[in-house]
Amino acid sequence: MTDLATYNFAYLDEQTKRMIRRAILKAIAIPGYQVPFASREMPMPYGWGTGGVQVTAAVLGPDDTLKVIDQGADDTTNAVSIRAFFQKVANVRVTTKTADATIIQTRHRIPEAQLQAGQILVYQVPIPEPLRFLEPRETETRKMHALEEYGLMHVKLYEDIARHGHIATTYAYPVKVEGRYVMDPSPTPKFDNPKMHMSPALQLFGAGREKRIYAVPPYTEVVSLDFEDHPFEIQTFSQPCALCGAKGSYLDEVILDDKGGSMFVCSDTDFCEDRQAKGHRGALAADTAEAAE
């Protein structure tokens, strides 16, 4: 019983890696198409990044430097846990710096810093099927993709406009890849959608529980669905980051007290820290606040 826990490099056995690698190559060759794969049980629960972890494990080598973020941050518990997992099973170099990473596994965000050619962004995906909430049956949605029958999605978005005056989808906002497949970008805020378009980095998506892998190669068209009279727009924030003063980054609202006080800070912690290290200061940064006192 004591010799029980011996695991392969990067945890997965080689046969599983081969199966995932074959799926990844197909996914790259058919951008935005969801390739079914025989997802394995992983030592973390389904829904907690098992798809992303399997993709990363199949891709990762000893020369890689891995960054893991959740909600844009390197220090959220699940990001810490996944990073520690790969340190343990693959003894891989890790970093929090976007620019230093060769592989970035993410949940819910795309880093603010422009990704570079050669970098790989691995998304954790809960529900890979963009049509799932319109049609719960896989047998039906698969037909819709095959026939390029995306009218239902446009109807849904248009109903929003009719009811609210604008599209009321704020995250997991559907995109069309290379003019063919409608794809779920994972639950990133729509703020991040434009970063997917013509990105120099390779984007891989893993959905473990739903057993799908898909991909967007570098320099590939990724267009958010919209209408001529209601063009796609991203979220804007009325104030800059309270720590680094960044304008035009995605901000988290942090509640400061129980009287409605709050502040907005960058969700991308590496981006924010990098700016602060370069001397940028927001209204509530530690030394700015002290200086004000």
Which residues inside 212-241 make contact with another protein, applying CB under 8 A? Answer: 215-221, 235
> Which of 67, 108, 176, 275 contacts another protein by CB under 8 A?
108
15 binds another protein (CB under 8 A): yes
> Which of 93, 97, 154, 171 contacts another protein by CB under 8 A?
171
Stretch near another protein under the rule CB under 8 A, chosen from 93-101, 149-157, 223-231, 243-251:
243-251
Nearest alpha carbon to residue 98 among 136, 132, 57, 68: 68
- Is 248 known to be catalytic? no
Phi, psi of 75 (to 5 degrees): -110, 10
- Is 260 known to be catalytic? no
- Is 32 known to be catalytic? yes
Lookup: tokens for 250: 């995605």
Lookup: tokens for 161: 């406009």
Tell me the C-alpha distance between 287 and 284, whole Å. Answer: 8
Instruction: Please answer whether residues 211 and 36 qualify as being in contact, where contact means their C-beta atoms are separated by less than 8 angstroms.
Output: yes
91 binds another protein (CB under 8 A): no
> Which of 180, 197, 230, 280 contacts another protein by CB under 8 A?
180
Tell me the C-alpha distance between 38 and 42, whole Å. Answer: 12
Tell me the C-alpha distance between 28 and 35, whole Å. Answer: 10
Environment class of 32 (CB within 10 Å of its CB; exposed 0-12, middle 13-18, buried 19+): buried
- Closest distance to another protein from the beta carbon of 49 (Å): 9
> Which of 91, 114, 155, 168 contacts another protein by CB under 8 A?
168
- Is 165 known to be catalytic? no
> Which of 82, 85, 107, 131 contacts another protein by CB under 8 A?
107
Nearer to another protein, 47 or 194 (CB): 47
Catalytic positions: 32, 241, 244, 266, 272
